Amino acid sequence: MTDSTEEVRLDPEPGILIESLRDIGYSFNSALADIIDNSISANATEVIVLALPIEHFMIGIIDNGEGLCREELKQSMRLGSSDPRQERALNDLGRFGLGLKTASFSQCRRLTVASRRNGQLSAFTWDLDLVVSTNSWHVIEYSDATDIPLVDQIGENGTLVLWENLDRLTGAKCSGKTDYDRIISEAQDYLSLVFHRYLAGEHDLTRISIKVNNQTLDPIDPFNTSNKATQSSPTEVICPGVTMQVFTLPHRSNYSSAQEYEKYGLQEGYLRSQGVYLRAKRLILYGTWFGLARKTALTQLSRVKIDIGVNQDELWKIDVKKVSAQMPEAVRTRVKALIATIGAPSRKVYRHRGTVLTSPELFPTWNSNREGDKTVYTINRDNPIIKNFRESLGDGNARSFDMVLGVIESAFPREALFYDLSVNEESVAFKSIGDDELAEAARTFFGSLKQQGHDEDVILSIMKSADPFRNRWADTLEALGGIKETQ
């Protein structure tokens, strides 16, 4: 200070600031995850989320952690209750001392926290309407907390976080129409992914049970390490406290069902879910290349696991919500150098599939040929079904048929197909062949190759790998009138 200056105190306006804190950027799912972080930090082994769409919708998060005494609970209700510069315990997933409050305020106007330690129950409430009306930082303390909804769910030790007046979900005075089933279902999937290591009891982490409306969550491993077709690289230490491992997920043909395949595509689908998965014990963010690469259909099976210590939050500039980060330069340099090789296995999976399905030995419907620097797709005139039909037409009609095929080839909607595949591969489908058409095609294909002198076993082997027969093999065999495969 100098003789010409003086300190002027400018305290924030409570009513204005508390409303501004509500728009820090939490989603419902990220807010819920932030509360569960506190339960993990309190050494809880069970977390129960109860979303009750009763007359006044409320959400309760109950854990069996260590609980808090009155003074600890009072301090935890303070905005900025911990110093982000201090070193944290290894199981502490928080840093700013804001998560409990800002996550809750983003969803509700009334936050109650009740906690019991060694049988002693304490409870405080932040009522935002009270803060606004009094323009003061006042919380409500309970001398008797037994009437708080769901407080009876707390055990000998543990904590309840209760959200009431959820205006961000229900609208002011519960006036909005909300699809609660969708919200809860998406929350279950999100928590199963974000806390998959804890739900699985992975390595040195304590296994935690999370229930949402009495449904126990199963972990969703985004790297699908249980599937034998998943490819993975050795774990690499990038720098102290940072490890990386690259995974290539299996092609859809390596899943037992469409539901299983879609599960590992996550809510956003494979294309948008490719990229880096950053974990500080729990998943922080995923599905981003940090601006180092574009998301393409050919690399959509690529996922990069980067694990960091909980004390690296500041280095990675992880925000209060734990949903964004900035890659440090040392890590960025290494990942950038590996970008070309990271996507190679994913591209190889699709390239191999394409090579197999257009192999001349399988008499495909479409040929794939290199002409200079381009790949040209043409209808295969040697396909037994097409060839047999053309030969039945006579010279005049055969020439007309060739013209029709040429028009189809030249007018193939490649731009539209490329766009649709880039946006969402799973949404692209092709018209399936009918039962009668499949039966006739199978008999024509088989009969044509039989006339060419191929053995029946060879023909069946070809058909079993060729479209449209390979995906409906039982129907194909039935159409061929009882021909048996040689085992």
Angle (deg, nearest 10), helices 435-451 and 384-391: 80
pLDDT in tens, 227-285: 999 999 999 998 888 999 999 999 888 899 989 999 999 999 998 999 999 999 999 99
Predicted confidence at residue 423, as pLDDT, reads 65
Alpha helices in 143-179 (DSSP H): 167-170
Q: What is the CATH number of domain 14-216?
A: 3.30.565.10
Alpha helices in 195-284 (DSSP H): 196-200, 258-265, 269-273
Contact 379, 365 (CB under 8 A): yes
Domains in the chain: boundaries = 14-216, 231-350, 356-479
Whether the upstream peptide bond of residue 468 has omega within 30° of 0, thus cis, is: yes
Q: For the chain, how many residues are written?
A: 487
Of all helices (H) and strands (E), which one includes residue 355?
helix 344-357
pLDDT in tens, 56-113: 789 999 999 999 999 999 999 998 755 444 454 444 444 334 679 999 999 999 999 9
What is the distance between the alpha carbons of residues 296 and 429, in angstroms, rounded to a whole number? 19
Q: Which of 472, 463, 443, 445 is nearest to 383 (CA)?
A: 445
pLDDT in tens, 214-228: 999 999 999 999 999
Does the predicted TM-score (pTM) go above 0.75?
A: no
Predicted confidence at residue 76, as pLDDT, reads 92
